[in-house]
């Protein structure tokens, strides 16, 4: 049986509201900025080899994220409890859609994201410690079916980073939040240095025309493919809602954190990407994966590449610190509702954290990092993840009709236009994914559908 709101609030009362406004804003930024800003622009340039279109894509991604943040902010102020989006969907549609969202998030989106970012962390550690490499295989484990599993030094470093951050979050929300805040501040400072270097040592002049290059035969479709990378890089701005039960004065601070954090993200992404065009021509950056490293090296030589590599190490580590804190609170909320292992709803008597939820998320994420299968699962579930974004945007309209008298400390600015922009953008992404990646879209729905028997099992237990 799903617990009523009063019971959920009493569970949150066992936690500590230790996340202030400044920390919440840094939480939004820290949970989003991982490795994407350092890696995606060169790959995007293959689809749209135009500086103007690339910058427009990053600006459009920011507009959609801001529209989403304004939309989620009203619901976050209405229901400032652990679980965030899970709670919004439950209040709007009932327990089943909320569970399916949580199932997809915990099975792959959050845990797979932690695993993927940890792999990026290990890859950049290898810049400083060459022995950390996927090719440096330490031992091989036989399996009952299929090929044996190899364990490399890079995988062990990935797992170690997850376990360290899980331990930090285990011993208190203050230590986990402090780690996120410090690492986020460090990565913002490092990212700010890239535009400074671009202005001081500009190598080329950005080529802003023609906006649509003549070689683009299908500009709309190509732009849509590039937007997949942009939206993925903006993904996770809503993680702060998962930790609403530990935010001080959440009815005020949660909406402010969402809006201010996403605005800051958009400015960071635009200025850093603009910097790339002062370092490299479109032809030079086209298809380059480690674009930030290449741009910094072009501006100031090998020292620039070293600086960027160190920045990525800090950035990815900080991103996972926020993700573990947020994801464990989603698991905590689901367990409290009786749709996950009850132990995950326990709060540590000394540290006042959902310690078993943290252990569970950390262990599953580490396993995905070792298995090497998370990348395919993550690709499959992204389609379903955006579908839930559509459902969450629509939930605002439903809640205004369903609960017209419920206290709303914050009302979405620009309603109903702003939520419609967010919903329309999400729908466009869904349609584009279906057209360009039909098999992955169906597989994503299949993974969500696997949650149905699990839900029925937990409801009967």
Most confident of 209-213, 224-228, 382-386, 389-393: 389-393
Flag whether pLDDT at 1 surpasses 50.
no
Tokens of 190: 């490092």
Give the DSSP per-residue string, 252-321: HHHHHHHHHHHHHHHHHHHHHHHHHHHHS-HHHHTT-SSHHHHHHHHHH-HHHHHHHHHHHHHHHHHHHH
Asked if 85 contacts 242 with a C-beta cutoff of 8 angstroms, the reply is yes
State whether CATH 1.20.1740.10 applies to domain 5-460: yes
Tens of pLDDT, residue by residue over 283-335, are 998 988 888 889 999 999 999 889 888 998 998 898 898 899 999 999 999 99
Q: Which of 107-116, 390-399, 412-421 has the lowest mean pLDDT?
A: 107-116
Burial of 138 (0-12, 13-18, 19+ CB in 10 A): exposed
The pLDDT, as a whole number, for residue 429 is: 81
Mean pLDDT over each residue of the chain, to the nearest integer: 88
| Phi and psi angles of residue 141, each rounded to the nearest 5 degrees, phi first | -105, 125
The pLDDT, as a whole number, for residue 409 is: 93
Q: How far apart are CA 239 and CA 242, in angstroms?
A: 5
Burial of 274 (0-12, 13-18, 19+ CB in 10 A): middle
Length of the chain in terms of residues written: 461
Residue spans of the domains in the chain: they are: 5-460
Quickly state the pLDDT bin for 8 (edges 50, 70, 90). low
Tokens of 137: 């295989």
Give the side-chain half-sphere CA count within 13 A for 162.
32
Tokens of 238: 């809503």
Tens of pLDDT, residue by residue over 170-216, are 998 888 788 888 888 888 888 898 999 998 999 998 888 888 888 77
146 φ/ψ sector (left φ>0, alpha ψ -120 to 50, else beta): left
CA of residue 92 relative to chain centroid, distance: 23
Quickly state the pLDDT bin for 269 (edges 50, 70, 90). very high
pTM summary value: 0.89
The pLDDT, as a whole number, for residue 3 is: 54
Asked if 264 contacts 29 with a C-beta cutoff of 8 angstroms, the reply is yes
């Amino acid at each position: 049986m799903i617990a009523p709101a009063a019971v959920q609030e009493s569970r949150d009362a066992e936690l500590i509201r230790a996340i202030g406004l400044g920390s919440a804003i840094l939480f939004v930024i820290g949970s989003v900025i991982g490795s994407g800003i350092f890696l995606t622009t060169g790959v995007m340039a293959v689809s749209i080899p135009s500086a103007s279109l690339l910058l427009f894509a990053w600006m459009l991604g920011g507009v959609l994220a801001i529209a989403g943040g304004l939309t989620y902010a009203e619901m976050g102020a209405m229901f400032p409890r652990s679980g965030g989006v899970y709670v919004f969907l439950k209040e709007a549609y009932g327990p089943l859609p909320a569970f399916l969202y949580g199932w997809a998030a915990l099975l792959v989106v959050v845990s797979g994201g932690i695993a993927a970012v940890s792999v990026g962390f290990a890859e950049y550690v290898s810049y400083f410690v060459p022995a950390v490499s996927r090719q440096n295989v330490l031992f091989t484990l036989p399996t009952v079916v299929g090929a044996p599993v190899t364990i490399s030094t890079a995988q062990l470093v990935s797992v170690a980073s997850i376990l360290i951050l899980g331990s930090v979050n285990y011993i208190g929300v203050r230590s986990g939040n402090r780690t996120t805040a410090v690492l986020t501040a460090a990565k913002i400072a490092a990212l700010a240095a890239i535009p400074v270097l671009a202005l001081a040592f500009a190598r080329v002049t950005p080529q802003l025309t023609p906006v649509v290059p003549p070689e683009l035969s299908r500009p709309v479709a190509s732009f849509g493919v590039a937007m997949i990378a942009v939206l993925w890089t903006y993904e996770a701005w809503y993680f702060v809602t998962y930790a609403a039960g530990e935010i001080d004065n959440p009815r005020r601070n949660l909406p402010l954190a969402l809006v201010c954090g996403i605005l800051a993200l958009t400015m960071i992404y635009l200025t850093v990407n603009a910097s790339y065009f002062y370092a490299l021509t479109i032809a030079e950056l086209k298809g380059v994966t480690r674009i930030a490293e290449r741009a910094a090296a072009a501006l100031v030589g090998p020292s620039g590449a070293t600086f960027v590599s160190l920045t990525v190490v800090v950035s990815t580590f900080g991103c996972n610190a926020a993700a573990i804190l947020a994801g464990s609170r989603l698991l905590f909320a689901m367990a409290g509702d009786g749709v996950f292992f009850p132990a995950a709803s326990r709060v540590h008597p000394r540290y006042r954290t959902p310690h078993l939820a943290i252990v569970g998320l950390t262990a599953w994420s580490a396993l995905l990092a070792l298995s090497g299968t998370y990348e395919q699962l993550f690709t499959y579930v992204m389609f379903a993840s955006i579908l839930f974004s559509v459902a969450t945007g629509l939930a605002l309209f439903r809640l205004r009709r369903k609960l017209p008298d419920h206290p709303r400390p914050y009302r979405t600015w620009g309603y109903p236009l702003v939520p419609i922009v967010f919903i329309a953008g999400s729908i466009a992404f869904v349609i584009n994914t279906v057209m360009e990646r039909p098999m992955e879209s169906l597989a994503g729905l299949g993974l969500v559908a696997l949650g149905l028997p699990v839900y029925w099992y937990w409801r009967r237990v």
